[in-house]
A and B are shown apart, each in its own frame.
Chain A
């Protein structure tokens, strides 16, 4: 198992190697008297850089204990990920099986030596943001954004039991447990009945936890939208505590999931299920034996969550979300052009919005295009729109808090193998929220984001 000390040491060496020229220059001062160098300074610098790179390479080779997770499965990251962390069909089936290959090697005891499937992520981002209101720049910000370290475990500990535990430790000291669940696989011996208990994410199209733009989820725009003035903090974006029952066929071409949950974060809702909600999704994937169109995946999903509006949870009000999605795989299964179209409609109870006299409603849509010209490289673009169909408070402008979001990005993996992934990503997005500035002006943010992600 790779230890954090090893990782720190390895990281330091990698940094040293990257800083090779500067370090080498420090080493290439005047030669000591009597030791006139036969090698020109430039040549010595090159030699020094080569020496350092070789040292790093030797260190990594000597200490590159394959991480337990990869050792268990013996697969490249790209076997399961279209581009990390987005899952491909094989990865989706693997996840649906409770992180099991189902070939007799999933039990920890089946491996020699035994191990725990642990992993770590480290991310650090640079971001420049310009905010404009009514055509005037009102704020410019830029710099290193907050990084985080994630050390988690996930996998199967037996043929019947899988788990996931992912605490995220931010640099500012905040620690959250993103997911924490345990799953009983194949209840009654069937893939169609798996039971998960704990804090689980919903099976959304383009899962928020598995999207590009690492560590800076911009799907909050679509998934986490709340109608203006809503007191509810429920979102399908966030993992919710409860029970999930899901099932699938061989290869996960047909799938369903149902979540029964207690709305996370609801005030006075600290009992087991006192602010209940339900989420469900079904999907079908159709593959084509010939033609440019390789596969189509279609799904529908919906949720109904409650949120207390009184001093306790005796007065619960509801929020409804309904959506559908279609995913097209074109050109290639392995290096596809993929288009995803998704639509959501939402309706909240008027009691959730102070002063509302009618139930607010909104519609939202998203189009994402991804293209992988070669394995570690992906280009992507995303359009999202949110339109309020009916404001809760009569007299509010129809387009108040409507949103437009456009994003383009490119991601490249500098290193990608079974034990280590080093990802570099550049993204630009423009995000407009309408009429929310004083005077009813629109607020638009232009952001350039450069992220790096280390997975081990």
Chain B
């Protein structure tokens, strides 16, 4: 048998094996292997969020059995899209024990997601929600920042206080749906667990955070108003896209309560 024949046979075999394993979607069986290597330590072998190091993690690792995921582009209460889950796996959750798994291949991440979707009965009875519509981002003007603060004070300060997460509800103590104590995000840090940009802030404000007291705003504020809030928050810290000019707008605002009383349009008309 010639060398060329052997090489041809090996290549044909490899192609056949390749064709047999074509997977447009993730493979839950392989996903379990990925889970065991990278996830089980925190999320537990039963995907209940009670892994070996969970007790040292704050916030606690997610319990996947209930099919409730905090960060989603879908409306509050709906299952996330696979892209939402992939984003969290790829980027991690900043400031938590959830590291970015950008080094994993796309196939590994999809396999892991496919496996996670076997861990909750919700995935068998419901499909992912439809991502919220995100209108084009308006220019972050001084007026937008000013209006954004009015809306923030009317809707957000109860928990977020002056932006550092020191609102009256936070001071009394807050808990998530799993019974773990949580604190509102410190928006002055310029980066949230999931959010980095004004667009991310928009999504979080509009869709809320599942399993936490952070509500969706879709029923309370218009998209334009949510953008104003997003730009005000962006002006509070070094968020991606935040400019010195934007931060100056916020710095030049009168102290809270010193200006005009919040107008009637602090909620959706």
Bound together? yes
Interface residues of A (CB under 8 A from B): 66, 70-71, 73-76, 78-79, 89-90, 92-94, 101-105, 250-252, 287, 289-295, 332-335, 375, 417-418
Chain B: number of interface residues, binned into ranges: 35 or more
29 contacts between A and B (CB under 8 A): A71-B56, A74-B41, A74-B53, A74-B56, A75-B41, A76-B41, A79-B41, A93-B102, A102-B99, A102-B100, A103-B100, A105-B95, A250-B102, A251-B104, A287-B106, A287-B107, A289-B106, A290-B24, A291-B19, A292-B20, A294-B105, A295-B105, A332-B30, A333-B108, A334-B34, A334-B36, A334-B108, A375-B37, A417-B52
Residues of A within 8 A of B93 (CB): 103
Residues of A within 8 A of B191 (CB): 104
A333 touches B18 (CB 8 A): no
B21 touches A290 (CB 8 A): yes
Q: Which of A70, A294, A333, A335 has the most CB of B within 10 A?
A: A333
B20, B30, B96, B99: the one within 8 Å of A334 (CB): B30
Which residue of chain B has the shortest Cβ distance to A78 in the bound complex? Answer: B37
Complex CA distance for A70 and B41, rounded to whole angstroms? 11
B33 an interface residue at 8 Å Cβ cutoff? yes
B98 an interface residue at 8 Å Cβ cutoff? yes
- Min CB–CB distance B77 → chain A (angstroms): 27
When A74-B57, A292-B21 are in contact, do A103 and B99 touch as well, CB less than 8 Å? Answer: yes
Residues of B within 8 A of A417 (CB): 52
Which residue of chain B has the shortest Cβ distance to A104 in the bound complex? Answer: B95
B1 an interface residue at 8 Å Cβ cutoff? no
Residues of A within 8 A of B42 (CB): 74
When A101-B99, A104-B95, A333-B107 are in contact, do A71 and B21 touch as well, CB less than 8 Å? Answer: no
Complex CA distance for A105 and B94, rounded to whole angstroms? 8
Which residue of chain A has the shortest Cβ distance to B38 in the bound complex? Answer: A79
- Min CB–CB distance A97 → chain B (angstroms): 9
Interface residues of B (CB under 8 A from A): 14, 17-24, 30, 33-34, 36-38, 40-42, 52-53, 56-57, 92-108, 191
- Min CB–CB distance A206 → chain B (angstroms): 18
Complex CA distance for A71 and B34, rounded to whole angstroms? 21
Residues of B within 8 A of A89 (CB): 103-105
- Min CB–CB distance B255 → chain A (angstroms): 30
When A74-B53, A418-B52 are in contact, do A252 and B37 touch as well, CB less than 8 Å? Answer: no
B30 touches A289 (CB 8 A): no
Q: Is the interface of A mostly helix, strand, loop or mixed?
A: loop
Residues of A within 8 A of B52 (CB): 417-418
- Min CB–CB distance B135 → chain A (angstroms): 29
- Min CB–CB distance B240 → chain A (angstroms): 13
Residues of A within 8 A of B33 (CB): 332, 334-335, 375
A418 touches B53 (CB 8 A): yes
Which residue of chain A has the shortest Cβ distance to B104 in the bound complex? Answer: A90
A105, A287, A335: the one within 8 Å of B105 (CB): A287
A289 touches B107 (CB 8 A): yes
Q: Which of B52, B96, B99 has the most CB of A within 10 A?
A: B99
Complex CA distance for A70 and B51, rounded to whole angstroms? 13
Complex CA distance for A399 and B94, rounded to whole angstroms? 58
Complex CA distance for A417 and B191, rounded to whole angstroms? 32
Which residue of chain A has the shortest Cβ distance to B99 in the bound complex? Answer: A101
Residues of A within 8 A of B92 (CB): 101, 103
A290 touches B23 (CB 8 A): yes
When A70-B53, A101-B99, A105-B96 are in contact, do A76 and B37 touch as well, CB less than 8 Å? Answer: yes
A66, A94, A287, A292: the one within 8 Å of B18 (CB): A292
A103 touches B53 (CB 8 A): no
Q: Which of B22, B34, B107 has the most CB of A within 10 A?
A: B107
Complex CA distance for A102 and B92, rounded to whole angstroms? 9
Which residue of chain A has the shortest Cβ distance to B98 in the bound complex? Answer: A103
Residues of A within 8 A of B41 (CB): 74-76, 79, 418
Residues of B within 8 A of A375 (CB): 33, 36-37
B37 touches A292 (CB 8 A): no
Complex CA distance for A291 and B21, rounded to whole angstroms? 6
Which residue of chain B has the shortest Cβ distance to A106 in the bound complex? Answer: B99
- Min CB–CB distance B63 → chain A (angstroms): 16
- Min CB–CB distance B115 → chain A (angstroms): 11
- Min CB–CB distance B256 → chain A (angstroms): 28
- Min CB–CB distance A55 → chain B (angstroms): 21
Residues of A within 8 A of B95 (CB): 103-105
Residues of B within 8 A of A79 (CB): 37-38, 41
Residues of A within 8 A of B21 (CB): 290-292
Complex CA distance for A70 and B101, rounded to whole angstroms? 17
- Min CB–CB distance A79 → chain B (angstroms): 5
Residues of B within 8 A of A418 (CB): 41, 52-53
Complex CA distance for A295 and B104, rounded to whole angstroms? 11
Which residue of chain A has the shortest Cβ distance to B35 in the bound complex? Answer: A334
- Min CB–CB distance B44 → chain A (angstroms): 12
Residues of A within 8 A of B94 (CB): 103-104
Which residue of chain B has the shortest Cβ distance to A329 in the bound complex? Answer: B105
Complex CA distance for A434 and B104, rounded to whole angstroms? 44
Complex CA distance for A71 and B96, rounded to whole angstroms? 13
B104 touches A333 (CB 8 A): yes
Residues of A within 8 A of B24 (CB): 290
Complex CA distance for A291 and B57, rounded to whole angstroms? 37
- Min CB–CB distance A162 → chain B (angstroms): 16
Complex CA distance for A251 and B102, rounded to whole angstroms? 5
Which residue of chain B has the shortest Cβ distance to A252 in the bound complex? Answer: B103
